[in-house]
Amino acid sequence: MSSSFKTFLKHAAKDFHNQSVNPPVVRASTIIFKSTKDIRKTQVKAQKNPIGGHYDYARQGTSTTYILQKILTKLEESYHVFTTPTGFGAVFLALFSVTRPGDEIIVSDPLYSPTRILTENFFKEFNIKTTFYNPHDLKTLEKSITKKTKLIFVENPGSNSFEFQDLKKILSIAKKNKILTAIDNTWGTPYFLKPITLGFDMAIVSATKYYSGHSDVMGGSLAVNKKVFSKVKAAERITGLRLGPDDAYLIIRGLRTLDVRLDRHRENAKKIVKFLSKFKNIKPLYPYKKGSYNFKMWKKYYSGSSGLMGLKIKCKNITSVRKFVNSLKLFGYGYSWGGFESLVLHQEHREIGTRKFFKLAKDEHLVRLHIGLEDPSDLITDIKQALKHLK
């Protein structure tokens, strides 16, 4: 990237043809040509340069989706980025592209619940075996490798429990055994971590979250290296997992302020963690405690931290935890995160999923906070009044 990340986001994809700062939304189902000769020319160009945006049918994209792909490819410093209708669509595309019946995959235990259901349950019906490893004990990963192992899938930090892993060690294990790698990098985005340059074959980001930033669009991105490009391209074409132009436009617009928003999310989150760390019955799950393994692994790989965190609350009465959550006035209660607003979610069993290496004691509870762009002093005041319900 010739200019800095921040400058690139502000100047990419200006449309001098239409004299607009942002590219227009180009909607299409049929892409028309003047003659048979013209359509064949486009098809030949697409064969010679499959990442060049040469389309003969709009399921493959339009100029709007192509512009978003070019922007994200620059941000990820990858060979190419595929875009999907949802973040989970990017997870599915990554897994579907490189696994076949008889293969085995190894997945980090603290996994987004739908990804766990897909790998552990759904893939089982297609004779694809899934094994889970302990993110803080990579010997459990090494011991799971067999001749059939095709892919190591990492989510970092861990979903809801926020474990940070030794990514280079995972990549070293994968390289030694000639195994492909994928990582869900939604928490950090390429603003804080660039997995492809680190050595991963595939990197997933839910564009629904920080890319969009305004809680009104869904989408996903899958960055790839040259090694897996052809497999993913073939899978994308046959599944039709393609982002629409209207959502692509909104994500492009959101990306303009990605750095500004993430910097603010980070600073607000640090202030909230500093406040909450004073309470003996609350353990923030966030990279703040120097000397801890999670802090070391975060510091080793990330240039910053986002606004999503967990709280491990010690409380004998679950009703008190629910009252704490329900009495927050500035935190909306709902799924997803990454928008401008603060959110809270009491992590009950179905949100956490069935973990093999993470257990909560009977008097321990998980609450997830997404720290938004509000005045942090107002958020702290709100949390302070809600904490009175924890008994």
Residues 166, 156: contact at Cβ < 8 Å?
no
How does pLDDT run across 364-376, given as a tens digit for each residue? 999 999 999 999 9
Element containing residue 306 per DSSP (H, E): none
Residues whose CB is less than 8 angstroms from the CB of residue 390 and which lie 6 or more positions away in sequence, other chains included? 281, 313, 315, 320, 321, 324
What's the confidence (pLDDT) of residue 298? 98
Query: Is pLDDT at 362 greater than 90 in this prediction?
Result: no
How does pLDDT run across 382-391, given as a tens digit for each residue? 999 999 999 8
Query: Is pLDDT at 115 greater than 90 in this prediction?
Result: yes
Instruction: Kindly state the average pLDDT of the residues 200-223.
Output: 97
What's the confidence (pLDDT) of residue 233? 96
CATH number of 258-389: 3.90.1150.10
How does pLDDT run across 266-294, given as a tens digit for each residue? 999 999 999 999 999 999 999 998 989 99
Percent of the chain with pLDDT over 90: 79
Residues whose CB is less than 8 angstroms from the CB of residue 285 and which lie 6 or more positions away in sequence, other chains included? 161, 162, 309, 310, 311, 312
What's the confidence (pLDDT) of residue 73? 97
What's the confidence (pLDDT) of residue 70? 96
Query: Is pLDDT at 349 greater than 70 in this prediction?
Result: no
Residues 196, 225: contact at Cβ < 8 Å?
yes
User: Would the CA dihedral through 45, 49, 53, 56 be positive or negative?
Assistant: positive
How does pLDDT run across 40-85, given as a tens digit for each residue? 998 898 888 888 888 888 788 899 999 999 999 999 999 999 999 9
Report how far residue 269's alpha carbon sits from residue 307's, in angstroms, rounded to the nearest whole number.
5
Element containing residue 85 per DSSP (H, E): none
Per-residue confidence at 3, pLDDT binned at 50, 70, 90?
low
User: Would the CA dihedral through 123, 235, 154, 272 be positive or negative?
Assistant: negative
What's the confidence (pLDDT) of residue 16? 65
Strands 104-108 and 129-133: parallel
| Domain limits, the chain | 258-389
What's the confidence (pLDDT) of residue 2? 55
Instruction: Kindly state the average pLDDT of the residues 150-154.
Output: 98
What type of residue is 154?
V
How does pLDDT run across 26-39, given as a tens digit for each residue? 888 888 989 999 98
How does pLDDT run across 236-265, given as a tens digit for each residue? 999 999 999 999 999 999 999 999 999 999
Per-residue confidence at 17, pLDDT binned at 50, 70, 90?
low
How does pLDDT run across 73-85, given as a tens digit for each residue? 999 999 999 999 9
What's the confidence (pLDDT) of residue 315? 92
Task: Calculate the alpha carbon distances from 17 to 202, 254, 290 in Å.
Answer: 34, 22, 52
Query: Is pLDDT at 235 greater than 70 in this prediction?
Result: yes
Tokens read off for 130 = 């899934």
Residue 369: strand pairing partners = 309, 344
| Short-list 353, 357, 383, CA closest to 366 | 353
| Short-list 235, 241, 240, CA closest to 99 | 235
Tokens read off for 346 = 């009491």
Query: In whole numbers, what is the pLDDT of the chain averaged over residues?
Result: 94
Q: pTM for the complete prediction?
A: 0.94
